[in-house]
Amino acid sequence: MTRRYQRLVMVLLMLGCVSLAVGFALRAFNGDLLYYITPTQLYEGHAPVRGQFRLGGIVEKGSVTRIPGSMTVRFTLTDFKHTVPVVYTGILPDLFRVGQGIVVRGRMVSGIFQATQVLAKHGAKYMPPGIHQPHPSPNEEKMLALKRDLGEGTKP
């Protein structure tokens, strides 16, 4: 084995390893390694039946009700295909409002998501209050906002 031949083999092996690595990375990103799942993914059975997990979605319009005299709030999270009812007791973040992207942590108990933590996701958009109304009604624009908020292109 000459030295040059040896070097050539070495470089080829390195390239082979790197391309295998890239291949596996691409396959991994087709899967669902996520910080949270969406209501649709929940309905497709991507969540543990009993364990805790995180659910991300938009707070549905007209769904927020507070139980008087307590810190308990009920609302539904939606991704405009499926909705999940959520109940939470505690302090909500400043950005919690209708039409806002929210990540809740907790578990499903008989069809209702019992949240132990509510986190507000804010978009990458910044603008003065006059230009943009917080809740534009057309569904399409909301879908776009949701896609942006929930991180587009990560779904399988």
Partner 1 sequence: MTQFSLFFHRLASPPHFYELSKPWGRAFSWIALVLILVGLFGGLWLAPRDFQQGNGFRIMYVHVPSAWMSLFVFMVMAASAFVGLVWRMRLAYAVAAASAPLGAAFTAVALVTGSLWGKPMWGTYWVWDARLTSELILFFLYLGFITLNRSFEDQQTGDRAAAILALVGAVDIPIVHYSVDWWQTLHQGSSFKGLTSEIAPSMLWPLLVMMTGFMFYYGWLVLWRTRSEILLRESDREWTKRVVGS
Partner 2 sequence: MNPWIQFFRSEVGLSWRERRRALLPLVFFVIVASLFPLAMSPRPLILKLIAPGVIWVDVMLATFLGLESLFRQDYEEGVLEQWILSPSSLELRVFLKVISFWTVTSLPLIVMSPILILWLSFPVRALGILLVGLFLGTVTLSFLGALGAALTVSLRQSGMLVAILLLPLATPILIFGAHSALLAADKQNPRPALYLLATLFFLTVGLVPKAISTALKVSYEV
**Which residues contact partner 1 (rule: CB under 8 A)?**
29, 33-37, 56, 91-96, 100, 103, 117-129, 131-132, 134, 148-154
Residue 33, helix vs strand vs coil = coil
Binding flags for partner 2, 103-132, as an x/- string (CB under 8 A): ------------------------------
76: nearest Cα among 59, 89, 95 = 59
Kindly indicate which of the ranges 1-9, 72-80, 90-98, 122-130 contains the residues binding partner 2, using the contact rule CB under 8 A.
Answer: 1-9
Tell me the backbone φ, ψ of residue 85, rounded to 5 degrees.
-75, 140
- Both structure tokens of 96: 């919690």
Handedness of CA 113, 40, 83, 111 (dihedral sign): negative
Adjacent-strand bridge partners of 50: none
54 scored as a contact of partner 2 (CB under 8 A): no
Nearer to partner 2, 29 or 95 (CB): 29
Out of partner 2, partner 1, none, what residue 95 binds, judged by CB under 5 to 8 A for its kind, is partner 1
Out of partner 2, partner 1, none, what residue 126 binds, judged by CB under 5 to 8 A for its kind, is partner 1
8 Å CB contact between 46 and 30: no
Nearer to partner 2, 24 or 109 (CB): 24
Collect all residues with Cβ–Cβ distance below 8 Å to 53 and sequence separation of at least 6. Answer: 36, 37, 47, 105, 107
Nearer to partner 2, 29 or 116 (CB): 29
63: nearest Cα among 14, 112, 22, 108 = 112
Q: What are the residues binding partner 2 (CB under 8 A)?
A: 3, 6-7, 10, 13-18, 20-22, 24-25, 27-33, 46, 48-49, 51
